[in-house]
Copies of this chain bind each other. A is one copy, B any other.
């Protein structure tokens, strides 16, 4: 057990789940850990964190953006296929033993949508290489994930988000 890396979860309905995971990726990179971030939700805009990593941190952090954007026009089968392809990639990165920290950003929605089972995720995490840390982010982390984690933080919205006529603030919200 002493060789086992840590398993962290950032969940809850508030802001900061993914942002804290990116902060952790930055911290780990600074301590010479090899980091992979796998995103399971493709956003509408290219985020600042991805731009910054691609510009300054490619030596330390590998980013993989998977999945489809969510649109109502899209067939659920296509969304599921893209999600499963993302999960397969994540499994490859976990088992490859190339990384000291793996961030599975928004993975919870793959379980919550029943695209993959909690049991499958736990099996992959349990047999991951020694010393590898994993962070899962996303709303409604399932009970089995929480049971298995070393540290779980809930990001809770205390005050409602600002509303600025519907336009997101560049550099802060994306």
Give A residues with C-beta under 8 Å from B.
2, 6, 8, 10-12, 14-16, 18-24, 26-33, 47-53, 55-57, 60, 100-101, 133, 146, 149-162, 164, 169-172, 174
Contact = CB atoms under 8 A, between A and B. Distances in A.
Copies of this protein chain in the complex = 2
Nearest to A147: B159
Given A48-B30, A174-B27, A153 B162 contact: no
SS class of chain A's interface: helix, strand, loop or mixed?
mixed
A55 B28 contact: no
A110 B67 CA distance: 44
Contacts of A30: 47-53, 55, 171
Nearest to A33: B171
Contacts of A23: 16, 18-24, 26, 49
Contacts of A32: 171
Given A12-B156, A151-B161, 20 more contacts: A2-B164, A6-B172, A15-B151, A16-B153, A16-B155, A22-B27, A23-B24, A26-B52, A27-B48, A27-B172, A30-B49, A30-B51, A30-B171, A31-B174, A56-B56, A133-B171, A151-B159, A152-B158, A153-B155, A153-B157
22 contacts: A6-B169, A14-B154, A16-B16, A16-B20, A19-B24, A22-B26, A26-B48, A26-B49, A27-B48, A30-B53, A30-B55, A31-B171, A52-B60, A56-B57, A133-B169, A150-B162, A151-B161, A151-B162, A152-B158, A152-B159, A153-B156, A154-B154
